[in-house]
A = this chain, B = another copy of it.
Amino acid sequence: MPDQDQLHAMRHSSAHILATAVQRLWPEAKFGVGPVVENGFYYDIDLGDTMISEEDFGRIEAEMQAIIKDNVPFERFEKSIDEAIQWATDANQPYKVELLNDLKRAGTTVAKDLNADELGTIASGDAQVENVSFYRNGDFTDLCRGPHVESTGKVGAFKLQRVGGVYWRGKDTNPQMQRVYGVAFATPKELRQYLDMLEEARKRDHRKLGQELDLFVFSDLVGSGLPMFTPRGTVIREELANFTMSMRAAYGFEKVWTPHITKKDLYEASGHWAKFGDKLFLVKSQETSDELVMKPMNCPHHTRIYTSQPRSYRDMPVRYMETTTDYRDEKTGELGGLNRVRALTQDDSHVFCRPDQIETEINNLLAAANELYKTVDMSLRVRLSYRDDSDTYLGSMELWEAAQAQLKSAVIANDLTYFEQAGEAAFYGPKIDFMATDAIGREHQVATVQLDFVQPQRFELEYTAEDSSRQTPVMIHCALLGSIERFMSVYIEHTGGKFPVWTAPEQVRIITLNQEDDTVAFATDVLQQAKNMGVRASIDNAGESVGKKIRAAELYKIPYTIVLGQKEMEGGQVTPRIRKDLVASEESAALPIANFLQTVLAESLSRTLKSTL
């Protein structure tokens, strides 16, 4: 497996090969930039009135394969900037001319106006631009910083993916170009794995499954980014939230309740108003002059409960948790399914503790996060998100450094895979961000544990220490699911809608063999038994064939289906059909109905991933 630098070079060389092929097919082509992106590359191309479509991909790819087969070397050379401009002018490449002129005119300062991709393709130097570098492969030459692979034969495996319109340098007053995307990997096997993953992701798209499995709905009357959850989807929400709350209850967290709005005074006090005031939904009272906002987070509200009583060192830690919905005024264009919503429900919690209690509290939360992600069968790694040197962070550098060190030590103590990243912290403190990998290999940011030395100071939170002095507590913010909506988008795709018993909205489908009165009465009795026990079951006694009713149950990916008829009535036993992914064999042995229901209940309560039948 090539290292990341090598893979980057392969993808970048693929972009040049794409441009080479396009130039051969459309000699009048004018080129913009062609950088590496996640999993591949693109090139921006101006073909005048000629539109490239996916139907052209076959012949472009064929031309690219020919170039690869020729295996000509990538040769680097340099020109002075004036020579480079002359070259681009002669080559009739006005976009390259523009980039080079910008570079010449502004010297190195232009670097800030060009985006990283543009820079990557042209700037050879750093502090002072004097020469620019070029790469030539056979009949194609491009100004480019490189590096590239040795020769066109060494680019690995690629596939053109899609084409779309973009404006030159992202400005809608500039000419429109066509951006051709390709995916590229070191080997055909990796490429195929990636393409399979994309196909699998398409099948698992939570918006598609959300509709097929009747989990949530949107309405134009209600608005974008504001999902509503059906009974089935609500079961999943509640099971997830109850689980993450119950784990924290075991660590001494107590539920609190706060409203969804507040006077903006609260955020002026917390500092959020100055930072995020323009990201909040403003709430206007028609009866009063109150200036209200919808809460985008819960910590400031929770400090109001903390301060409602005097606290002593003996009362600490004070631990609150609340699953509640926050509102963030996201741009409509950025909303998509449950992944990004305007109404996000957090399984939120806040610890107020003494400095000497930080480590134990963080350890408890890390243990809960570990248990949660083990239960949903996703592997975890964590990002230690630190501040950078910018001035957007509140609180002293000393506090920050101490806090960051404590987080790191807790993560190491918990044996978590981690990496550190500056500039990813919240403005009030460093944090641990959990990244979970789903069943098809994608990584998602989920839970978070955040230390906060700033809000306790701003809100003048206090406790009386053993020596009777007034001390400031530390706050620890933690959401284990993060946003429940976003987590559900991940979870639906992770499971492909094949939920384990504990989150399955419907755990058992009871199908009647016929519509005779005694069969229906028996099945209804079994249904009532199941419900009384707390098993989520439903009945299908429609006048359809059993095969059709079984297929209907399969469409909803229900873990267990039982068919009840004369035999079951007489013997009191059932032979459950088990959803394929839950066991090796779809059919199980016959067992008494009560035992079957007990097993389902036990699986639900212990959150097993597989059937135990």
A265-299, CB < 8 A from B: 265-266, 269, 278-288, 290, 292, 294
A329 on the B face (CB < 8 A): yes
B288 touches A332 (CB 8 A): yes
Total count of chain A residues near the partner, CB < 8 A: 62
A325 on the B face (CB < 8 A): yes
A542 on the B face (CB < 8 A): yes
A260 on the B face (CB < 8 A): yes
B329 touches A231 (CB 8 A): no
Q: For A329, what are the chain B residues with a Cβ–Cβ distance below 8 Å?
A: 285-288
A436-461, CB < 8 A from B: none
Centre residue among A257, A301, A308, A327 by max chain B CB count within 10 A? A257
A230 on the B face (CB < 8 A): yes
User: Taking the nearest CB of chain B, how far is it from the CB of A296, in angstroms?
Assistant: 12
A330 on the B face (CB < 8 A): yes
B261 touches A220 (CB 8 A): no
A470 on the B face (CB < 8 A): no
Copies of this protein in the complex:
2
B223 touches A320 (CB 8 A): no
Q: For A223, what are the chain B residues with a Cβ–Cβ distance below 8 Å?
A: 261-263, 265, 290, 292
B234 touches A256 (CB 8 A): yes
Q: For A132, what are the chain B residues with a Cβ–Cβ distance below 8 Å?
A: none
A228 touches B343 (CB 8 A): no
B292 touches A258 (CB 8 A): no
A138 on the B face (CB < 8 A): no
A238 touches B262 (CB 8 A): no
A314 on the B face (CB < 8 A): yes
A217 touches B305 (CB 8 A): yes
Main secondary structure of the interface of A (DSSP, over half): mixed
B259 touches A325 (CB 8 A): yes
B343 touches A261 (CB 8 A): yes
Q: For A234, what are the chain B residues with a Cβ–Cβ distance below 8 Å?
A: 254-257
B285 touches A256 (CB 8 A): no
A116 on the B face (CB < 8 A): no
Complex Cα distance, B283 from A285, in Å, reads 9
A228 touches B330 (CB 8 A): no
A256 touches B284 (CB 8 A): no
A162 on the B face (CB < 8 A): no
Given A262-B222, A266-B221, A269-B221, check contact A286 B290 (CB 8 Å).
no
A495-543, CB < 8 A from B: 542
Complex Cα distance, B234 from A545, in Å, reads 50
Given A230-B305, A256-B234, A280-B286, check contact A327 B261 (CB 8 Å).
yes
Residue in B closest to A217 when the chains form the complex, CB atoms: B308
| Chain A residues engaging chain B, CB cutoff 8 angstroms | 214, 217, 219-223, 226-231, 233-235, 237-238, 254-263, 265-266, 269, 278-288, 290, 292, 294, 300-301, 304-305, 308-309, 314, 320, 325, 327, 329-332, 342-343, 542
Q: For A292, what are the chain B residues with a Cβ–Cβ distance below 8 Å?
A: 223, 281
Complex Cα distance, B325 from A294, in Å, reads 13
The 6 closest A-B pairs by CB, nearest first: A231-B254, A259-B343, A229-B257, A217-B308, A219-B304, A223-B263
User: Taking the nearest CB of chain B, how far is it from the CB of A468, in angstroms?
Assistant: 15
User: Taking the nearest CB of chain B, how far is it from the CB of A544, in angstroms?
Assistant: 12
Q: For A214, what are the chain B residues with a Cβ–Cβ distance below 8 Å?
A: 308-309
Residue in B closest to A235 when the chains form the complex, CB atoms: B255
Instruction: List 21 A-B pairs, Cβ < 8 Å.
Output: A217-B308, A219-B266, A221-B266, A222-B258, A222-B301, A223-B292, A226-B259, A228-B258, A228-B259, A229-B257, A230-B305, A231-B254, A231-B256, A231-B320, A234-B256, A260-B325, A260-B327, A280-B286, A281-B283, A287-B329, A287-B330
Residue in B closest to A505 when the chains form the complex, CB atoms: B254
B282 touches A286 (CB 8 A): yes
Q: For A327, what are the chain B residues with a Cβ–Cβ distance below 8 Å?
A: 260-261
Q: For A255, what are the chain B residues with a Cβ–Cβ distance below 8 Å?
A: 231, 234-235, 238
Complex Cα distance, B262 from A343, in Å, reads 10
Complex Cα distance, B297 from A609, in Å, reads 39
Q: For A237, what are the chain B residues with a Cβ–Cβ distance below 8 Å?
A: 257
Q: For A285, what are the chain B residues with a Cβ–Cβ distance below 8 Å?
A: 281, 329
B261 touches A304 (CB 8 A): no
Q: For A309, what are the chain B residues with a Cβ–Cβ distance below 8 Å?
A: 214
Complex Cα distance, B235 from A54, in Å, reads 60
B286 touches A278 (CB 8 A): yes
Complex Cα distance, B288 from A256, in Å, reads 33
B314 touches A220 (CB 8 A): no
Given A231-B256, A255-B234, A279-B286, check contact A294 B261 (CB 8 Å).
yes
